Amino acid sequence: MTYEQAHPPHYIAHRKGWLSLHTGNLHGEAGAAERAVEDSFLRRFMYGTFPGLLADEVVLKRRGNLLVICALLSRALPPSKIYFLVGYTETLLSHFYKCPVRLELQTVPARVVYKYL
């Protein structure tokens, strides 16, 4: 099991962090529902564009207008194909959401295991 799967939800903010960081859920801020819909679309999109390559959950960060997608990939595809997929996701998503989208990737040899059951 990965670190994310090993900790149940009541450990969020104690032993676990957040997967999606935005200001929609703060007291007195609006836009939480729109961010949630965007997050679910982005996660399905990433799951589909990198078939079988995602080692862990996708982390989404929003700084002002910029949307940063951080993902962990395994090294199954050659780097040239991964570069093409990165450019494809960045241009498509920035045209779709009308905001600059940046993809930050890290390749991992295998899934990062936290605990064995």
Partner 1 sequence: NLMGARLAGSHVDTQEPKTNPLVSLSDEPETLYKRLSILVKGHDKAVLDSYEYFAVLAAKELGISIEKVEKPPKTIERFTLLKSVHIYKKHRVQYEMRTHYMCLELKYLTSSTAAVYLEYVQRNLPEGVAMEVKKTKIERIPEHIKKPVWDTLPQVEEAEVKS
61 binds partner 1 (CB under 8 A): yes
26 vs 110, which CB is nearer to partner 1?
26
| Residue among 11, 18, 88, 114 that touches partner 1 (CB under 8 A) | 18
Question: In sequence order, what are the residues at sequence separation of 6 or more whose Cβ sits closer than 8 angstroms to the Cβ of residue 108?
Answer: 55, 72, 73, 74, 75
Span interacting with partner 1, options 22-30, 79-87, 93-101, 107-115, rule CB under 8 A: 22-30
Dihedrals phi, psi of 64, to nearest 5 degrees: 65, -120
Are the C-beta atoms of residues 92 and 101 closer than 8 Å to each other? Answer: no
- Compute the least distance from the CB of residue 39 to partner 1, in Å: 13
Among candidate residues 80, 87, 81, the one with its CA nearest the CA of residue 51: 81
Q: Which residues bind partner 1 (CB under 8 A)?
A: 13, 18, 21-23, 25-29, 61-64, 68
